[in-house]
Structure 1
C-alpha cells in the first residue's frame, strides 16, 4: 500500500481519484485548505491534511508530503475568470509542489495538465484562457526539468458524464472531450506503471480500456 498526496484534494477530478486509489490499495492524502471538507473526503477513504496552495510556501508542501510515496498535482484555479489565480494555483501551486516533493524525497509525481498547451496562443485569445494555457505550459516544463519521476496527463475538454473506462491516450491524440472520472482512472493507473515515468500524453474519450491504454505508454 502506498500513500498518495493529492494536491487540490477536493477538486472534481480528485474526488473521483480518491475512489480509484482506494480500490487499487493506496491511501489518498487529500490536501485541502478548507477543514469543512474533512468528513466528505474521509468518507471516500482519504486521509485529510490542510494546505493552502496559494499562501503557503514549499516547506509547507514538503511537510504535507512527508511519508507519502507519490504526489498528484490535481489543483486548478477554476472557471472563475480570475487571471491571477491561474498564476497562483495552476503555476505557483505546481512549482511549490515540485519543490516540496524534491525536499521531501518523494520522486514520483503525476501532473494533470491540459491538451495543447505547448501550442502558440493565437492573437485575440481571451486573456484568462491565455494565462491559463501559459500557466499549464510553464508548470509542465518545470516538472519535466525537475529530475523527478514525472508523468504528465493532458486531458481534453472535461465533462461530468459517467465514467466509460475507454480512452485514447498518447502524444498524438487530437482534441476531444473526456470525462473527469476517466481522467481520474488514468491518473490512478499510471501511478502503478513504471513505464509511464517520463511520459507526457494527451487524453480524450476513446475505445481502449484504461489499463491497456496506460500499458501502451
Structure 2
C-alpha cells in the first residue's frame, strides 16, 4: 500500500517511515511542512516527500494513498491555540480529505487519557479526543492508538495493548515500539475499527494486536 505518514519528521514519524521502508511491503510517503527535510527522509526510506501544512490548505495530499498514519503533533512547547490548529483541526481536515479520496485505512496516533481529558495537559487531551471522535464517526476504517509516556529507549517489540489499561503507574513506551504498532495495525484485521491503549509489556506486538 501507499502509506502517507503525516508528521514524518517528528521523533515517532521518522521511526515509522524507517520501519515501513525496512520491515514491510508498504511504500511510505512522508508529509512534512519544510522542504529542507526531504533529503533526510528520503535517506531513511521515504518513497516521496510531500510538502504540506496541516494549518493551511492540505490540497490533494491524500489522493492516491491507500492508508494514512497521523503521527503529527504541535509539540509540548506550544500553547493551546497551536494544539487546536494541528492536533484537532489539522487532523479533522485530513480525515475529511481521506474520506473524499477513498483511503482504505486511517491510523491515528493519539494519547492515553484522550477518553477522559483532565490534568495538566487537559487542552491537549481534549483536542485529541475531538479528533479521535471525528475519525470514529467518519465512516473510514480506523485504528486509534493511545500510548502512554513516550521515551527514546530502545524498542523491545513487546507491549501491553488493551481497550483500557487501568494501572499505569510510571510505565511508558519506547517510540520505536509505538511506530511498530502503528505499522502493524495496517496488516492485522483485528486492529481495524479499534481504539487501544498502549504501554510496554510482555507480549509480541503482532500477537498483542491479534488478541485485542
Structure (1/2) with the larger helix percentage: 1
Contact kept? 2:117, 2:126, Cα under 8 Å: no
Q: Deviations over 1:28-47 (max 9, x none)?
A: 11111100110100011102
Cα deviation for residue 81 of structure 1 reads 3.4
After TM superposition, the score normalised by the length of structure 2 is 0.94
Partner residue of 1:24?
Answer: 24
Question: What is the Cα deviation at residue 159 of structure 1?
Answer: 0.5
Structure 2: state its 5+ residue gaps. Answer: none
Separation in 2, partners of 1:11, 1:120? 24
Match of 2:110 among 110, 113, 116: 113
Give the Cα separation in 2 of the matches to 1:71 and 1:172.
24
What residue in structure 1 maps to residue 129 of structure 2?
A: 137
Q: Secondary structure at the match of 1:72?
A: strand
Aligned residue-pair number: 207
Q: Secondary structure at the match of 1:172?
A: coil
Matched residues in 2 for 1:135 and 1:112: separation?
12
CA-CA distance at 1:172 after TM superposition? 2.5
1:96: which partner in 2? 93
Residue 5 (1) aligns with residue 7 (2): no
Change (3 A) 1:120 1:66: closer
Do the aligned residues in 1 keep the contact of 2:151 with 2:174 (CA within 8 Å)? yes
Give 2:65's aligned residue: 68
| 8 Å CA contact 2:117, 2:125 repeated in 1 | no
Provide the alpha-carbon RMSD of the alignment.
Answer: 1.1
Q: How does 1:1-217 map to 2 (within 5 A)?
A: 2-22=1-21, 23-46=23-46, 47-57=48-58, 60=59, 63-121=60-118, 125-126=119-120, 129-174=121-166, 175=168, 176-217=171-212
Give the conservation status (yes or no) of the 8 Å contact 1:168–1:208: yes
Kindly provide the CA deviation profile for residues 53-111 of structure 1, in whole angstroms up to 9, marking residues without a partner as x.
Answer: 11225xx1xx1111111001111110113111110010011101100101111131000
